[in-house]
Amino acid sequence: MKLSFIRPKAELQPYVESLWIFESALGMPPEHQSLAAPNGCPKLIFLYESSLTSMVHGRTQVCPESLYFVGARDCPVVLSSSPKKVAFIGIEFYSQGAYPCFGIPMSETANRLFDAETLFGRWGRQTAKRLLNLDTVEQKVARLQAELIDFLQKHQDHNRLVDFCVNTLKSTDGRLRMKELQRQTGYTRRYLELLFHRHVGFPPKVLAGIFRFQKFYRKWAHGESYDEFKTALYHDYYDEAHFCKEFKRMTGYPPRQFTREVTNEFGRRLTLK
């Protein structure tokens, strides 16, 4: 299994958090090793070798070679494939980064996976076809970025208030109270929620919960056990029971079992980007 990270083009850097290529000669690792936990980021995925199966809450979706958009999620996704070569390109947007590119309300995509043609129409169909006709992965990465830059120039709708809110929540690992966010921005909770539904897909409180969870998920990715980091959680959660409930909602596992039994090398490498 190989996961390679590429620096996005300058035009995309305000919107794209990471760009990577995943390749495996033997398909995805076993299910308990291929779990994608929520991080608040929508994604554009171009699958160019084999097919993938996505499972969320027991519901499966088979994805053949093509271009896909994955909305931001607040629940885990398990990926699987047949035991043969699988390869795909991932463009992971900042939480508020996909809306300026595509102009589609992110609340319509949250917790969902779309074929690009279904969601974007002609652009999605033509881009997928062009990418599939290219020979090398380097050509595919370059073309995908060029197509995205072109789409961005036509649909750009940047909102500095949303940027401020998302960056503030992320910098505090989701610990900022919503009343404080209202005080700092001067806007009502209702107005901020309307903005977030359009630009992010979730209200600020839900995104804050994902960022708070990610703080401890990163500790796991760096090799810490539950016993090592549980003493720090009381600054972020009401109590241990609250943390365990949130962790299980985000991963499908209680934290102690997850840190002891779940390898999830795919998720670990994505988290350590």
| Digit-coded pLDDT (tens) for 110-132 | 999 999 999 999 999 999 999 99
What domains sit in the chain, N to C, each tagged with a CATH number?
A: 2-155 (2.60.120.10), 160-271 (1.10.10)
Tokens of 45: 């995925």
Does the pLDDT of residue 181 top 60, yes or no? yes
Q: Of 149-163, 177-191, 197-211, which range is least confident?
A: 149-163
pLDDT score at 229: 83
Does the pLDDT of residue 155 top 80, yes or no? no
Burial 119-148, CB ≥16 within 10 A → b, else e: bbeebbbebbebbeeeeebeebbebbbebb
Cα–Cα distance for residue pair 235/175, rounded to 1 Å: 9
Does the pLDDT of residue 157 top 80, yes or no? no
pLDDT score at 32: 53
What mean pLDDT is reported for the chain? 92
Residue 31 CB contacts under 8 Å (≥ 6 apart), including other chains: 78, 80
Block residue for tokens 């390869």: 87
- Report phi then psi at 62, rounded to 5: -90, 130
pLDDT score at 33: 63
Block residue for tokens 């589609």: 104
The burial of 247, by beta-carbon neighbours within 10 Å (0-12 exposed, 13-18 middle, 19 or more buried), is given as: buried
Banded pLDDT at 233 (limits 50, 70, 90):
confident
| Digit-coded pLDDT (tens) for 61-82 | 999 999 999 999 999 998 888 8
Banded pLDDT at 166 (limits 50, 70, 90):
very high
Give the dihedral sign, CA 2/113/202/19: positive
Q: What are residue 63's DSSP bridge partners?
A: 52
List C-alpha distances in Å: 188 to 177, 184, 194, 221: 13, 11, 10, 36
Burial 40-55, CB ≥16 within 10 A → b, else e: bbbbbbbbbebebebb
pLDDT score at 59: 86
Reported residue count of the chain is 273
Tokens of 81: 């494939």
Does the pLDDT of residue 245 top 70, yes or no? yes
